[in-house]
Structures are given as structure tokens and as C-alpha cells.
Amino acid sequence: MMNVGFLGAGTMGREMVLNLLKAGHAVSVYNRTPEKLRPLTDAGATAAVTPAVAAAGRDIVISIVGDDPASRAVWLGPEGALAGALAANAILVESSTLSRAWILELEAEARRRGCRFLDCPVTGGPDGARAATLTLLVGGEETTLKAARPALSAYANQVYHFGPVGAGTAYKLVVNLMGTVQAVAVAEGLLIAERAGLDLTQVAEALSSGAVASPMVKYIVKRMIASDHADVYFSARWRHKDASYALKLAEEMGQAVPTSATATQAFQAALDQGLGDLNSSVVIDALR
């Protein structure tokens, strides 16, 4: 069993911590909003008042927060995890979906402090986090991944090791950018079908069984025709954030992505209309 420091108790982090506890690991957890920690302390976690306290002396420290600024705060802020008394050779795991540039900067800071590092974004959503069936998208050294597996396997059942630090994040940004394009394409297609007088329930059924069907299409087409945007699985705000980081990566790689850029603009329109905190399916209303 491992002594785990955990940073972030949002929708994903909460379920990951609960699975770590079920697996018998000792967990000290920090969250910016302390009241969200109650279900975790009830389950056996220790509440930490700062990231530094959560990380102090721990074998492994795992973070899953919203964006680059939030990640920078929990790791490098005045009371961040890297400002505390880290264990020698501790493993630091960043599981948030962040920019690759920040991941590389964070890894350099970790190494300067004598720590090992993995970038390890996850996929599978809240349902996967709850069921301990997340997929890990990993960048880092194989020996570090092996050492971290006892903790990571508490909430994940599949691992893709893409290469050195930054590789897991690069893949996650690619796949989320593709999901952004699919979401906008579905929205545009449904709006055309709507104006053409088609039965949208029938359209959704046909799309979900036809040549363009994918897990993303099947999921989001149902949400769109039902206008089911309040039950948030993945918000428009986070979809836009991930796509924006992916566009930045594409620019760094010198790759033109005109379709992806246009799809990202559609989600920017959703944010501009005050729809950012609704489910990403709400992009259809922004386009309407």
C-alpha cells in the first residue's frame, strides 16, 4: 500500500480518491473548496489545509484540477506541493488535461527537487472514475510508471504509455480536439436536419448506427435532441479549454488545423453566450 497525497476533489478526483481508499491506500487530500472533502474524510481520507500538507512525506502525489493556472497553484504556489517537505524520490503525477508546455515546465521543476514525474491524463469520465475503469494516458519513464502502478491501478484498468513526459498530454489533447470537432459536426448536422423538417429522433437513431457513428456521436446526439445540457458530464467550458490547449500544441508543432480551429470557435461562442457551465452538448444552442 502507498501513502498518497491527492490534489483536487472535483467530479473526477472525488471518485479516484474513494477508489484509492477502497484499495487500502492512505490518502491525504487537498481541495480548494474544503467542504467538498467531507465525503472523503468520512470514507477515511485525511483533509489537508494546503497542497504542501497533502504532499508532505507521501510516496506519490496525484493532481487532477481544471487548467494550467490551477495546476501551477497546487504545485508551485506559496503553499504548493513542491514547497513542502516532499519524500525523497517521490512520484508526482499530473492527471489534469493541461498544455504540453506547462507539463514540460512542471516536470523540470519536479526533477530539480529530486522527484520523479509522470504526466498521466485520464479518460473515461466520471463513470469510469466511479467504476475504477479509467484509462491512463501516460508520459514518463517506464520505471516510474511501474513504481506508481499500485496507486494508479486503484482507479484505472488500462494504460497507454505513449513515451517520455509530455507524450500522454499530447495524445489527450489530440483526442479531445477530435471530440470537439465531432461535437460541432453533430450539432451542425442536426440543425440542418431540423430546418429540413426531419424527425430528429429518427435522425439520431440513424446517425448512431450509420457510418459516422462513434461513442462520441452516440452520446452527444442524444443529449442534443433532448436539450439535455443541465446534467453536466463534460462542460462546454472545459471542452473549449482542452481544445484551446490542443490548438496551442498544433501551433508549436507547425501543423495547420483549420477545421479544429473553427470547431473551437463554436465553443467560444457558447462561452460568450453564458453557456460555458452547461454540458458540452449545448454547443448546438450556441449555433442555433
The residues that are catalytic are 172
Angle at 61 between CA 55 and CA 63, to 5 degrees: 110
Phi-psi region of 238 (alpha: psi -120 to 50; beta: other; left: phi over 0): alpha
At position 96, the amino acid (one-letter code) is S
Q: Which residues pair with 4 in a beta bridge?
A: 27, 60
* Locus of grid cell 500500500: 1
Cβ atoms within 10 A of the Cβ of 153, count? 14
DSSP secondary structure string, the chain? --EEEEE--SHHHHHHHHHHHHTT-EEEEE-SSGGGGHHHHHTTPEE-SSHHHHHTT-SEEEE--SSHHHHHHHHHSTTSGGGS-PPTT-EEEE-S---HHHHHHHHHHHHHTT-EEEE--EESHHHHHHHT-EEEEEES-HHHHHHHHHHHTTTEEEEEEEESTTHHHHHHHHHHHHHHHHHHHHHHHHHHHHHTT--HHHHHHHHHHSTT--HHHHHHHHHHHTT--SS-SSBHHHHHHHHHHHHHHHHHHT---HHHHHHHHHHHHHHHTT-TTSBGGGHHHHH-
